């Protein structure tokens, strides 16, 4: 009997206001909407998983949601509100969605507690870090003293604009089979204080943290990348391998859950 594909929940952080899209006469009326790029879904499906788009729920309902999943992808999106890590808003802080922050932070913590594999992408890596007790730079251009790279590119997402050096012997180096990875860059926030339980496994040439993973992946499968790996599928096999590794970890979790 063939096992069903593991269920991989994908968070949705981007909020679009009624004025963000052009209306057509036959279309729906203007309204606030949540949006998620299809490439997240494509990446999970191509790796053998079943993507499930997660609608925000109250933090006290997250346990009910998480109990039906085999893994979680924390997607990209807007800035995290600094109240999540006890900081005062910076003048260059971008738009935030505190209610979505609360949901995703609760989702990340519940996934870690239950031992679900978690892959954080861009904002998602930042959410994972904050959920575990870390902090962020709210605005890299003004707060990162060593900044020499442009971390928010103007070119298409599939196009790499800088390199990330990944640590020898790290999990991500083994998965991507590279010591240096070409990546895209669409962020102006980044990890400041690293959370306990995570280790830095990738940095850009100006020192910004670009990849993290669990200190002990055999106990907790946690991986975060600052770039949009889902948007670079097709540019080489390395980005696909991140999702393949995540779905493989989800399959192992599903087997353990079935045997329990």
Domain assignment present for 22: no
Question: Phi and psi at residue 210, in whole multiples of 5°?
Answer: -120, -10
| CA 19 distance to own-chain centroid | 27
Q: What is the pLDDT along the chain (260 residues), one digit of tens a residue?
A: 668 899 999 999 777 766 666 665 666 666 678 889 899 999 999 999 999 999 898 888 999 999 999 999 999 999 999 999 999 999 999 999 999 999 999 999 999 999 999 999 999 999 999 999 999 999 998 998 876 688 888 888 888 889 999 998 899 999 998 888 999 999 999 999 999 999 999 999 999 999 999 998 878 999 999 999 999 987 778 899 999 999 999 999 998 877 77
pLDDT given at position 68 = 92
What's the CATH number where 88 sits? 3.40.50.880
| Of 81, 151, 188, 228, catalytic | 228
* pLDDT for position 6: 96
Structure confidence at residue 66 (pLDDT): 92
In a domain, 135, yes or no: yes
Q: What angle (nearest 5°) sits at the alpha carbon of residue 210, between those of residues 212 and 159?
A: 135
Domain count, the chain: 1
pLDDT at 26: 63
> Angle between the 123-131 and 98-114 helix axes, to the nearest 10 degrees?
70
To which H or E segment does residue 101 belong?
helix 98-114
- pLDDT at 24 (0 to 100): 58
Whether residue 24 is contained in a domain is answered as no
Which of 15-23's residues contact partners 24+ apart within 8 Å by CB, and which partners?
15/78, 15/97, 15/100
Q: What is the model's pLDDT at position 27? A: 63
- Active-site residue (options: 97, 230, 240, 251): 230
Asked whether the CA dihedral 243, 203, 82, 96 is positive or negative, the reply is negative
Per-residue pLDDT, 31: 67
Domain assignment present for residue 113? The answer is: yes
Output the CA angle 234-238-239, nearest 5 degrees: 60
User: Would 38 be classed as within a structural domain?
Assistant: yes
Domain range for 37 is 7-15+32-259
* Residue 116 belongs to some domain of the structure: yes
User: Does the residue 20 lie in any domain?
Assistant: no
Is 228 annotated as catalytic? yes
117 located within any domain:
yes
**Paired residues of 35 in beta bridges:** 14
- Give the end-to-end CA distance of the chain in Å, rounded to a whole number: 19
Q: Which residues make Cβ contacts (< 8 Å) with residue 252, sequence separation at least 6?
A: none
């Amino acid at each position: 009997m063939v096992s069903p594909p593991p269920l991989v929940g994908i968070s949705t952080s981007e909020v679009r206001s009624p004025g963000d899209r052009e209306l057509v006469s036959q279309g729906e009326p203007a309204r606030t909407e949540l949006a998620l790029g299809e490439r997240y879904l494509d990446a999970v499906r191509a790796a053998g998983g079943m993507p499930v788009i997660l609608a925000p729920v109250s933090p006290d309902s997250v346990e009910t949601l998480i109990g039906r999943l085999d893994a979680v992808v924390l997607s990209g999106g807007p800035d995290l509100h600094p109240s999540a890590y006890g900081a005062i808003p910076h003048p260059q802080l971008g738009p935030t969605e505190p209610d979505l922050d609360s949901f995703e932070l609760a989702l990340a913590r519940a996934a870690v507690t239950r031992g679900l594999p978690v892959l954080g992408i861009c904002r998602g890596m930042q959410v994972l870090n904050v959920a575990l007790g870390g902090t962020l730079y709210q605005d890299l251009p003004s707060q990162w003293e060593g900044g020499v790279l442009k971390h928010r590119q103007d070119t298409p997402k599939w196009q790499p604009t800088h390199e990330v050096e990944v640590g020898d012997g790290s999990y991500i180096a083994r998965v991507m089979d590279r010591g240096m990875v070409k990546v895209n860059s669409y962020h102006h926030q980044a990890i400041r204080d690293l959370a306990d339980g995570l280790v830095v496994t990738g940095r850009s040439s100006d020192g910004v943290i670009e990849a993290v993973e669990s200190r002990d992946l055999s106990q907790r499968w946690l991986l975060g990348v600052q770039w949009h790996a889902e948007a670079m599928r097709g540019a080489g096999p390395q980005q696909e391998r991140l999702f393949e590794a995540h779905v493989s970890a989800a399959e192992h979790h599903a087997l353990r859950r079935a045997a329990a």
